[in-house]
Amino acid sequence: MTRATDRRIGLLFVAPAVIGLVAFVGIPAAATAVLSLFQWDVLTPPRYLGLANYSRLLTDSEFGQVMRTTLVFVGATVVPGVALALALGMAVVGPEPIPRVARVALLVPVCASSIGVSLIWRTVLNTDFGPLNAMLSVVGISAIPWLSDGFWSMVAMAGVAIWKGIGYDVAIVVAGLRLMPSHVFEAAALDGASAWQRVRHVALPLMTPTIVFLTVIGMVRSAHSFDIAFALTGGGPARATTTAPLLIYQRAFQFFDMGYAAAMAWVLLLAIALVLIARPRSVALDL
């Protein structure tokens, strides 16, 4: 088989993915970019505005507030989420691994529908009738307004997001840990290093590419998260949990300001692209 034939076969295998990427990402993104230059309310013909929608974003205090809320949500999910994934991943591959049923339980949220589990958590977190507050009252803790207070709503939304994605993150950590040479840990143990010292001075430095990868993916995942904010809090109270994707949805399908929503979507897309571009080049090569 010649090299040209090998190349044609390779292109044949790649073609479906490329076609899907162009059809479901490239064309919609281009259409959104064009739409962002117009004012369109669905009912009347589009009116060309040029870059007016983008200049409007610069003076829109609501958009600025929502972008700040999105950054808070990203920080509230990524930092604790990566730390928890590292702890659970080390527990999975440790000398006394957690039971198989617990490992399976970690993957269940990943497989479940985000809207479905958010609605379930909405019931669990109900201030007056939710089982979580009922359990807290047993130990003398007064009811927490999980979904009616700005701070606690953000805590609840971040907690559900971490719970939803923890199985994927743990799987990445486990894969990274199993790629590390065992003789390094054995040498550290022979040198008298404690378990914590082996984790801190051996495992974590070797896991740096994995940690950076999880951080970047977590930031992207949280920045474009829509379903949890939509189903769990609806963006409330008082827009305390309104993220950028939820605001884009509201502008487009509640206020029918399609062009302005498209401009918001492109700003969010560019922000996410900057995160991906700014990642260390070594991360993709080491994983």
Nearest by Cα to 152 from 127, 130, 128: 127
- DSSP string of 126-176, one letter each residue: -TTT-HHHHHHHHTTPPPP-TTTSHHHHHHHHHHHHHHHHHHHHHHHHHHH
pLDDT at 101: 81
Residue 4 pLDDT class (50, 70, 90 cuts): low
What's this model's pTM, rounded to 2 decimal places?
0.89
CATH of domain 54-286: 1.10.3720.10
**pLDDT tens-digit profile of 211-259?**
999 999 999 999 989 999 999 999 989 899 999 999 999 999 999 999 9
